[in-house]
Structures are given as C-alpha cells and as structure tokens.
Amino acid sequence: MQQKDSWLLPDGIEEILPANAKHLESLRRRLLDMFACWGYELVIPPFIDFLDSLLTGSGHDLDLQTFKLTDQLSGEMLGVRADMTPQVARIDAHHLKHEWPTRLCYYGTVLHTRGDPLEKTRSPLQIGAELYGHAGVDSDVEVIRLMLEMLALMGVLNVHLDLGHVGIYRSLSRQAGLSPVQEGELFDVLQRKARPELAEWIDSYALDSDLKAMFLALPLLNGGMEIIGKARQVFEQADADLKQALADLETIAGRLARLFPSLPVSFDLAELRGYHYHTGVVFAAFTPAVGREIARGGRYDNIGGVFGRARPATGFSADLKLLAGLSSVKGPSEPENKIFAPCIDDAVLAEKIRDLRAAGNTVIQQLPGQAGDGAAMGCTAVLVQENQNWFIKNLA
C-alpha cells in the first residue's frame, strides 16, 4: 500500500529542480575546466565501496557519518561514501602509480547519516582537488591557491582564510609523552575551547612547567600574523618539529600575502579539524554569510600506504550546492531561440529541426494531443511551412 505523502523526501535529502540544476551544472563545468587548466585530471570514484577503504585514516567522525550495508554477493560490509578523499588516494596509490607529482580532481554526491547543524543537507555535492607526491610547502600553497581561485571563479565574496597545523599539537603530545588515550582526551578539551577544563586536565598529569605553559597557551594563539611571533616565544622550549611547523605556516602565509594582498588570513593553532586524518597544515575558507567553513583542506601524508603506496598528499574539498547559493555568478541564460515545431511526420521538417538543434537552438516538438501551445511552453518562435520549406516565425 502506497503511503499518503509519497512525494516526501527523507530529512536532509533534496531534489534539484531545472533552473538550479542548470546553474549547478554550469558551475561544475567551469570549475572542472579550471582545474584541468592547472593540470588536475578528473576521476570518478564509486558511490558505494568497501567500508574499510572508505574509512582509511579518517577517524571516528567519518565512521559515524557513513551509511553501512552488507554486500549480498560477498558478505562484506559496504559503505555509501561520506567523503571521496580516501577513494581518490587509492586511485593514485593503486592504479596510477606515478613517480612524479599527480594532480587529481573529483565531483559527485556524498551521503551523510547526519546533517550539519548549520547546513541541513545530508547529500552534499562534493568537489575537490588533491596533489600527491610532493611534501613541501609549495604543494600546500598550490592547493590553497586553487581553492581560492575556485571561490573567485564562483563569485563568492568576502572570503577569509584560516590556517592551522596539526603538527603543533602532535609535537607537544609527543614531547609530553601522552598515551593515545590521554592525547584523545586532551584533543576533546581543546576542540571545545574549554580553558578551565584544560587547566584541570593539565594539572592532573605530571607534566613539567614548560609543557604545562605551552598546552595552556594553545587556545590563546589565534589571530593575525602576529600570532606566529607570539607562538615562537611560547614554544621556545618545544622540539624542532613544532618550530618547523611554525616556519611552514609563516612561509605559506607570506607567499599567499604576495599573491592575494587583500585576502584576510588568520591563524588558530588550537584548531585541530581533521586531526585524525591530517598530518600537517590545515586550512579553511570562511565568508560572513555562512557560520561555518565553505571549503576546507590540508595535508594528509601517507594515506595511500594501506593501498600499497604511501605518498605525501594535500588537497581540499567543498560542497558545490553550498557554493552555488553563495555565488554571485549568474546562471546560464536561456537560448536566444526556443522554437516550437508542429507534430507532423515530415522528412524535411525533421531535417530542419536537426539542423537547428545542431546550431545550438532549443527546439521542442509538439506531441499528439498535448495541452498547451508553444507560447505556453515558453517558446519565442514557431516553425511554419511555406512552399514545402520550413521557416522560423517569431511569436508576438
């Protein structure tokens, strides 16, 4: 028995109607063409995959966001992709096997078990780019530049860039000798910016005074370029890896300032987005119109190891549906001619319609017994026959 409201959709799942679908497709083509101009080749990962492949290196959060099912052929657990990045890493590691840097881009629907509190959709249209095989700041700068150029091409206004580095927290945790459990507990406290709880947590462990001071200072190290100088003072007793992370952030910010002099850049050294996944620089783009990041990325070296080939990697992704809502780029205009053709079985008419469509015109042919004429269907002209030939006649 059919339910009464069979037209209803699950929460967070949307239909995209013609005008918006046309706009999204136009933006998709523009972005993929731009990625291609930078040398990023398109790949299309599968919508459903083995669960282990989907969750490689991703941590607990992505596990909770992934729909799971059992494969009736193999009996293995499958998942509907909630993020395409691990699949793209597999393509680089297992299929392409290049010795040189590999640039890949992708686009497609991902599905989440839960919607973002600030963005109700559970089916984002994920678009992104990944660069494999280079471990320096130059590749980090390249993917950040590409992300910013993507937003500029979309006409997204008032973009702000936020930079962080998960290596800072990893270095402090290693220097303090924290166990995996302790590291996870502290990570949770830092994510919630709970400073009183952080102080209590630090006091509960036998850490030396220098390490205590460095951990307690982390939530305060956010702001503009001056934060790097403050961090160097705070982390004077830190190890070389942490100091290198600060140097990398300073280098990246300096190069971006020369390339995008009007771009606001800030630092948040306690920001650990993607901590279980990323290994180095993390970045996100924000705009005042949205209360969360509109594009995000970072470095995630060695993710391809589980697929047989560990390589440095960095990249970014975004939800094209979200970006389209922020875009100041107008959708594609309707064709100048939208022509209505009569319902006649005539070889000359069929050839005329074929030629008009080949030239880029929209031709809608009448169906037998249909309701509505050409004007009702939005046509601007109609095909009429004169002396065995067919001509376009504009509708008044």
Q: What is the pLDDT of residues 117-151, one digit of tens each?
A: 666 789 999 999 999 999 989 999 999 999 999 99
Q: Strand 160-165 vs strand 265-268: parallel, antiparallel, or unpaired?
A: parallel
Q: Average pLDDT, whole number, for the chain?
A: 89
59 pLDDT more than 60: no
Nearest C-alpha neighbor of 325 from the set 154, 161, 159 = 154
- In this prediction, residue 336 has a pLDDT band, given cuts at 50, 70 and 90, of low
Which residues, 6+ apart, have CB-to-CB distance to 51 below 8 Å? 66, 68, 76, 77, 78, 79
Residue, of 191 and 168, whose pLDDT is higher: 168
Give me the pLDDT at residue 84, please.
93
Nearest C-alpha neighbor of 317 from the set 121, 82, 100 = 82
Contact present, 239 and 136 (Cβ < 8 Å): no
Give me the pLDDT at residue 302, please.
73
Which residues, 6+ apart, have CB-to-CB distance to 369 below 8 Å? none
Distance CA 78, CA 90 (A): 16
Rounded mean pLDDT of 272-289? 85
